[in-house]
Structures are given as C-alpha cells and as structure tokens.
Amino acid sequence: MFRLLRIDLGEESYAVSEIKEAQEWIGGRALGAYLFFREIPPSTEPLSPENPLLLLTGPLTGVKGVPAAGRSVSVTLSPKTGRLTYSVGGKDFGPFLRFAGYDGLFISGRAEEPTILVVSPEGLDFLPAGDLWGADTHEVTRKLKERFGGSVLSIGPAGEKLSPIASMMVDGSSAFGRTGHGAVMGSKNLKAVVVIPGDREPPVKHPEELRSAVVQSLKKLNDCVLVKELRSSGTLGMLVKRIGRGGFLPRAGKDPVPVGVDELLSRWKDLIDPQRSLQEKCWMCPIACKKYIGGRRYRGHGPEYWGGLLSLGVERGVLDPEEVGKLYEKCNRLGLDAISAGYMATRLSEEMKIPVEEALEMLAKNPSLAKEIKEISVRGLENGVCDPRGSAGYALALATNNRGDENQTMLMDEVLLGTLDPKETKGKAAYAYHRQNLFMVADSAVVCIFDTYALDYEDFGKLLHAVTGIEYDLEDFANRAISLERYYNYLRGLEPADGLPPALRGDVPLQELLEEYYKLRKWERGVPTFIRG
C-alpha cells in the first residue's frame, strides 16, 4: 500500500492515507497523474493554494541493489506551461522519505508565513523559515543539514519570487529543474522540506528473486558503453563525445558551433575531481554520472547535464567548462532551471549588454523577464538537448511528449549510438512509442532514466515482480499513464497541438509519423479515445 503523507500548509495539519490504486499505477509519475485526475479540478490555477505539490517515490525507490534507485518525482500544474507536469530529482530525498516510513508527500494549501517542513518517522513538524527567506539553496541546505541532518529540498530566490522557470534543489545540487516546480513551492510559502530517515526498509515480496534480477540488471548496465562513459566522464562528457562526433555542437534553432571534441573532452576530464564526484552521486547509484570539478578558476559542480553546457555556453559560443560550471552553479543557487534560464539570460545579456551572471540574477528576482523563447519551444517549454531537424524519431518524440521536452527519448539509437538511421522514417513511430513508454516505467518505478540505456520491459518487469509480487503488462500500463496525462491536459482546455516550431522542424514528414503514432496509442487526432467513455 502506498503511504501518502497529506499536508495542509494553511491548516498546519497532516494525515497519512493509503492509496490502494498504487498497485495499478505503480507510483511516481503515473500515480501523480492519477491523483490529479481523481482529486484536482482541471480548472485549478498553478499558483493557487489548491494546486498541490506531489513528491512521490515508487516501489523500487530506496531498494538496496536496484540500479539507480535514488530518485523521486514531483508532479504538479506548471506555472510555465499551464500543463500537468512532472520533474525528477536525485540525491537522497526519495530513499530517505521511504526510510522515514512514507512513499510520498501531498502538499496543499498555503502557509501564512515562510515555512519549513521536517518529515521524520515520528511525523511532521511545521517550523518558521523567516530567517532563511531570501537565502540561496546552498546556504539553506548547509544550515538545515547542520541542524537536522537528512536530505533537504529547497527553493532559492527565484522560487520565492514565483518565477515560472524556478527549480527545486535537493541537497543543493540535484534539480527538479523543468517547468517551474520551484514557483509552486514558493507560492505555498514553503522554503524547504527536510526528510530525516528512519530504519524502515522498503518491503520486498521475493528477496531471492530480487537478487537474481539485480545481478542480471547490473550485468547489462556494466556492459553498456554509454553507462561506461557516464561513469568515467559524466553526462557532459558522454554527450559531447557522442553528439559532437561530427565536430559541431547544436544551438537553439541556429547553425551549430564548431568544436574540437577531443580537446574539449580532454580538458573536461582533467578538471574532474574523482573522489569528490563520488560524494555527489545519488543514493547508492552504480552509475555516478554527476561530476565535481576542481579547476583553477572554479571549483564546484560541473555543468552536469547537456542543457547546462548548451544553454549557458554553446548558445554564446563559449566552451569553457569552468566558465559554464560557474554559471550552472549560479542557477542552482538561485533555484533556476539551467536550460530555460540559460537561453533567456543569453538573450537578456545581448539586449541589455550586461554579463550573463547579472542577467541570471535579474531573471531570479523579476519573473516578468522570464519570457518564453517561442522559436525553440514545444508546449511552452524550451528544448534543451539536441537539434531534432535531422532525426525523424527524435522529432516525433519531441512533438508528442506531454511535457514538451522528453530529451533522451530517441537520442540513444539515432544520435548516441548511431544504430538507427536518423533520417529513416520506417519504424520510427513504433520506436518513439516504445521509448516514451519505457521512460514512463522508469519514472513510475521510480529509477533513473539512464537505466533505460541497458534495461527494457523484461528487466523492469522482473524487478517490479520481485519487489511487489505483481505481474505488470508494462506496455499497457505506460500507454494508459501517458494517455491519462494527456487527457487531463485536454480537460484543462489544452489541445494536443502535436508539432514543432519551424526552427526545429526541418524536413521531417511529421504528419505521416503522427498518424502512425496515434494508431499505436489508440488516439484520435492526438486525443485519447477513452475520454468518450
């Protein structure tokens, strides 16, 4: 049974409920969509007290041995796009929540004064946060860890000012980055959530079966070339090597930037501090993709993800990892989504002729400056990973994603490994359908999407059966969950509008691919057919 801690900030009250439907919806992202559909009117405004912030785990979260099981999912209504949305964060927050005896938090209402929530096996405390209001996420994390230990989820100035590109940060370095979850937290006068773990291990139905499933899964991950590169050089190193193999890095709807890939990778690897990087990994993760760099001009978290390097560096023609790392950490401290903020700050700095760092400060303090860059946006969200113009499957996956940026969906085979011809359209609808489904499984189980580089339905099915005792038809589950997300947004008056802006479209025959894709999902013109029932 899914133990949900329901918190009303306005009433300063809480209660635990059990969600039996979690057996059907598994957890995480899918369960979040179900809870919104069941309980939250589609007319709800994102920054209203009635819009809850759901912080959810899944049955695999915090289970020892399960690869990359240190994740949790936030589900809410986005102040940036207006849509039901989700974001995934790492570090210790998800596992610690389960060790405290809860599988998720359902946070509603609005506190009268700035507040901190302290979750422990004994229950919940509401504490004043006035002395931390205005502080950046690093300062908040340091002070609350000194006082309580545990894991700290916090917002920075951007969330307090209700910026639509505000992030939530876990332990100061792992972001629930996209679609403005930090603004929802700020609208509730909630500065931080501290989770103090207990000794309650997540239940496992078949321990021996789990051991066997874990061994098989780890072997596949260890044999995966992409995972090996993530371990050695992080997400930035792996993606620069793979996407930049032609000597160019993509920019947002513009001509690519020439790059000496070998030189950039060599410099990046020289900056990595291996011992400190191990301290930065998510809970018991066997991949450890997050890298800490120790340069002469900057020491701190490297631009761990592709969006950081692209939006904060390549967009400006800057490929210096130290300079980009400094700006990336600035985003984390302020509580800004590094992808959207990077593109917006670049535009702002060019228009006002000010440094990008100053532009980031302005974005955090003035929400009205966070203007959508429409030519690179899908469903109101700036695209952050790869130029889809030459990749048919990736273009389709991006055009149909409910959130607007499922960045890794088609990258693996079309771009990273080159095992699928990017321009070939045959079979791409089925493949995009499959990869999107696989991501829904990972986001609901809840484990890192990097597991999907080596694991598929069969592997996740074995892990889930060992832990829950339930045999899942994961393809059917994922299609229902993705359809439910879309249905809820349809009820909010948001038409499917599956497509790409001209700057991202290229010559991909998108309409033909969409028709084939809709048949697989059993949708009519992009709308789930079960809405008629």
Residues sharing a CB contact under 8 Å with residue 184, sequence separation 6 or more, in sequence order: 46, 47, 51, 53, 76, 77, 79
Measured in degrees and rounded to the nearest 5, phi and psi for residue 176 equal -85, 90
Which residues belong to CATH 1.10.569 in the chain? 231-378
Would you call 367 exposed, middle or buried from its count of C-beta atoms within 10 A (0-12, 13-18, 19+)? middle
The predicted model gives 267-280 an average pLDDT of 92
pLDDT value, residue 253: 64
Question: Over 90: is that where the pLDDT of 497 sits?
Answer: no
Residue range 301-341, pLDDT digits in tens: 887 666 678 889 988 888 899 999 999 999 999 999 999 99
Query: Taking a C-beta distance cutoff of 8 angstroms, is the pair 217, 459 a contact?
Result: yes
User: What is residue 192's three-state secondary structure?
Assistant: strand
- 385 confidence band (pLDDT: 50, 70, 90): low
- Tell me if the domain spanning 381-532 has CATH number 1.10.599.10: yes
Which residues belong to CATH 1.10.599.10 in the chain? 381-532
Residue 361 is encoded by which pair of tokens? 């400060």
pLDDT value, residue 453: 95
Q: Which residue has the higher pLDDT, 254 or 321?
A: 321
Residues sharing a CB contact under 8 Å with residue 266, sequence separation 6 or more, in sequence order: none
Q: What percent of the chain has pLDDT over 70?
A: 97
The predicted model gives 56-84 an average pLDDT of 98
Residue range 13-52, pLDDT digits in tens: 999 999 999 999 999 999 999 999 999 999 999 999 999 9
User: 265 in the Ramachandran plot: left (φ > 0), alpha (ψ -120 to 50) or beta?
Assistant: alpha
* Amino acid at the residue 186: G
* CATH architecture of the domain covering 2-195: 4-Layer Sandwich (3.60)
CA 206 to chain centre: 30
User: 176 in the Ramachandran plot: left (φ > 0), alpha (ψ -120 to 50) or beta?
Assistant: beta
Q: Report the mean per-residue pLDDT for the chain.
A: 93
Question: Over 70: is that where the pLDDT of 101 sits?
Answer: yes
Question: Over 80: is that where the pLDDT of 411 sits?
Answer: no
- Would you call the peptide bond into 446 cis, given omega within 30 degrees of 0 as the criterion? yes
The predicted model gives 174-180 an average pLDDT of 95
- 410 confidence band (pLDDT: 50, 70, 90): low
For 272-329, what is the HEC assignment? ECHHHHHHCCCCCCCCCCCCEEECCCCEEECCCCHHHHHHHCHHHCCCCHHHHHHHHH
User: 180 in the Ramachandran plot: left (φ > 0), alpha (ψ -120 to 50) or beta?
Assistant: left
pLDDT value, residue 260: 92
- 532 confidence band (pLDDT: 50, 70, 90): very low
Residues sharing a CB contact under 8 Å with residue 382, sequence separation 6 or more, in sequence order: 252, 311, 339, 340, 343, 372, 373, 376, 405
Residue range 131-170, pLDDT digits in tens: 999 999 999 999 999 999 999 999 999 999 999 999 999 9
Residues sharing a CB contact under 8 Å with residue 469, sequence separation 6 or more, in sequence order: 205, 206
Which residues belong to CATH 3.60.9.10 in the chain? 2-195
pLDDT value, residue 415: 82
pLDDT value, residue 533: 36
pLDDT value, residue 531: 52
Residues sharing a CB contact under 8 Å with residue 473, sequence separation 6 or more, in sequence order: none
Query: Taking a C-beta distance cutoff of 8 angstroms, is the pair 315, 343 a contact?
Result: yes
Taking the model in full, what pTM does it have?
A: 0.96
- 496 confidence band (pLDDT: 50, 70, 90): confident
Query: What CATH number should be reported for the domain whose range is 231-378?
Result: 1.10.569
